[in-house]
Amino acid sequence: MGKVRVDAKRCKGCFLCMSVCPANAISVSGELSEKGYETIRIDEAKCIQCGSCYRMCPDCVIEIGGF
């Protein structure tokens, strides 16, 4: 399986990705982006790489692949 990457600089904290994750692998990070938005983190041990979060994110914050 590949890796999951989050570009926290672009995350605006809408948390739409969290609402569609079937594995509950996405949580609030507790950190703020450069623009002051709370960002997400993805637990790679829980992530099943289904791509739901990738497709839902309006800001293309999440990448899934073998970087």
Cα separations (Å) of 9 from 24, 30, 45, 48? 22, 14, 23, 24
CB atoms within 10 A of CB 32: 13
Give pLDDT tens digits for 3-52. Answer: 899 999 999 999 999 999 999 999 999 999 888 999 999 999 999 999 99
How many whole angstroms separate alpha carbon 36 and alpha carbon 65?
28
Per-residue pLDDT of 24-38, as tens digits, reads 999 999 999 888 999
The pTM for the full model equals 0.88
Which domains are assigned to the chain?
A: 3-65 (3.30.70.3270)
